[in-house]
Amino acid sequence: MTFFNYLGVRSIIWTLICYIWPMARPLRIEYPGALYYVTSRGDRQAAIYADDEDRQSFLSVLQKVVARYNWVCHAYCQMTDHYHLLIETPDGNLSRGMRHLNGVFTQLSNRRHQRRGALFQGRYKAILLDADAYLLELSRYIVLNPVRTGAVNGPADWCWSSFLAMSGMQPVPAFLTPDRVLSLFAGNPQAALKKYQAFVAQGLDAKSPWAGLRKQIYLGDEAFVKHVQTMLGDMPGDVNVAKMQKQRQVKTLDRYEREALSRNAAIVSAYDSGGYSYQDIAAYYELHFTSIARIVRKARNEV
């Protein structure tokens, strides 16, 4: 092999590493009630927001997406070249909503700035979360992003995140749902606000939540991963789960109630079926969805 042939082989190998290897895509797992940490970055690390008008435009699109796809947004943060979201999908439709969010905002941004082409770097990143273990942790992680990067000294200094609204310092935007996060701190609203602020303040000294990341897509322990895989029917690991969702027959909530030994047992069975979200079950029993979440969490802890 000549020196130039050697260089050619090295070039091919480097191309494979840089362009083909990263294209191996992690699965998209979608089911009713799933909770995700979502982030999307600018193409070639470029800014996705040129100014505050762009940021407001993005939030307007997000508000429409949350309403249209019945999402629950627990936290958000807009940086310069990326954003973070904490999204719950009662209808199991993250991919559809994200196509709308990134697609429409790209169109608006390109039209405003008179440009063409991609705004975002490939696909968004979505991590499926064990809500019991990571809802609070990720709600804190997201709003502390500007502090970790050195953009500001404290989360209250950054107006483009959910922290100010969650802390009662600003009105809550229509797309944000603070109830579930705050209810985990205290039943009294004022006490919950103070405890939330203290919890966030302690976050800079907390260990990274990403130590619990499994298989690129799960943030939770092995029991959580097994629970999700069992619920989805143990789909093979080399398929895109979002495109291969099994259309399973789910019993009615009335039937779960009739067949169970207790109300709580019916609630847990219905939720574990994957056919009903916390909100669905809460509406049936005329309870708040956080009460349903506590019942399910307690049942898992007792196993």
* Cβ 70 vs Cβ 155: under 8 Å: no
Asked if residue 88 has pLDDT above 90, the reply is: yes
Instruction: Identify which has the larger pLDDT, 121 or 3.
Output: 121
Shared-domain flag, residues 190 and 255: no
Asked if residue 249 has pLDDT above 60, the reply is: no
Asked if residue 244 has pLDDT above 80, the reply is: no
Shared-domain flag, residues 80 and 131: yes
Asked if residue 219 has pLDDT above 60, the reply is: yes
Q: How confident is the model at residue 254 (pLDDT cuts 50, 70, 90)?
A: confident
Residues of the chain with pLDDT > 90: what percent? 62
Q: What is the mean pLDDT of residues 188-192?
A: 94
Q: Give the number of other Cβ atoms within 10 Å of residue 109's Cβ.
A: 18
- Dump pLDDT digits (tens) for 102-129: 999 999 999 999 998 899 998 899 999 9
Q: Within a domain: residue 2? A: no
Most confident of 27-41, 227-241, 289-303: 27-41
Instruction: Identify which has the larger pLDDT, 151 or 239.
Output: 151
Shared-domain flag, residues 61 and 165: yes
Q: What pTM did the predictor assign? A: 0.72
253-260 contacts, C-beta under 8 A, 24 or more apart: 253/280, 253/281, 253/284
pLDDT averaged over every residue in the chain: 85
CATH number for position 167 = 3.30.70.1290
Q: Within a domain: residue 12? A: no
Q: Within a domain: residue 8? A: no
Most confident of 3-12, 139-148, 215-224, 256-265: 139-148
Q: What is the mean pLDDT of residues 47-61?
A: 98
SS3 state at 120 = strand
Shared-domain flag, residues 183 and 267: no
Q: Within a domain: residue 241? A: no
Shared-domain flag, residues 184 and 54: yes
Shared-domain flag, residues 44 and 155: yes
Asked if residue 241 has pLDDT above 70, the reply is: no
User: Cα separation of 84 and 78, whole Å?
Assistant: 7
Number of domains in the chain: 2
Q: Within a domain: residue 17? A: no
Q: Give the number of other Cβ atoms within 10 Å of residue 60's Cβ.
A: 15
pLDDT attached to residue 236? 43
Residue 84 has phi, psi (to 5 degrees) of: -125, 140
Asked if residue 57 has pLDDT above 50, the reply is: yes
Shared-domain flag, residues 155 and 279: no
Instruction: Identify which has the larger pLDDT, 33 or 234.
Output: 33
Residue 274: which domain range?
250-303
Q: What's the number of CA atoms in the CB half-sphere (13 Å) around residue 209?
A: 22
Shared-domain flag, residues 275 and 172: no
Shared-domain flag, residues 201 and 284: no
pLDDT attached to residue 280? 77
Residues ≥6 apart with Cβ < 8 Å to 137: 206, 209
Shared-domain flag, residues 282 and 139: no
Question: In this predicted structure, which of 127-136, 167-176, 237-246, 269-278 has the lowest mean pLDDT?
Answer: 237-246
Q: Within a domain: residue 93? A: yes
The last residue of a domain, from among 149, 184, 209: 209
Shared-domain flag, residues 56 and 157: yes
pLDDT attached to residue 169? 97
Q: What is the mean pLDDT of residues 245-267?
A: 79
The last residue of a domain, from among 186, 209, 232: 209
Q: What is the mean pLDDT of residues 172-196?
A: 95
User: Cα separation of 193 and 165, whole Å?
Assistant: 10
Shared-domain flag, residues 201 and 277: no
The last residue of a domain, from among 209, 239, 265: 209
Q: Within a domain: residue 215? A: no
Instruction: Identify which has the larger pLDDT, 7 or 45.
Output: 45
Q: How confident is the model at residue 209 (pLDDT cuts 50, 70, 90)?
A: very high
pLDDT attached to residue 6? 39
- Dump pLDDT digits (tens) for 273-284: 777 777 778 888
User: Cα separation of 254 and 245, whole Å?
Assistant: 25
Q: Within a domain: residue 159? A: yes
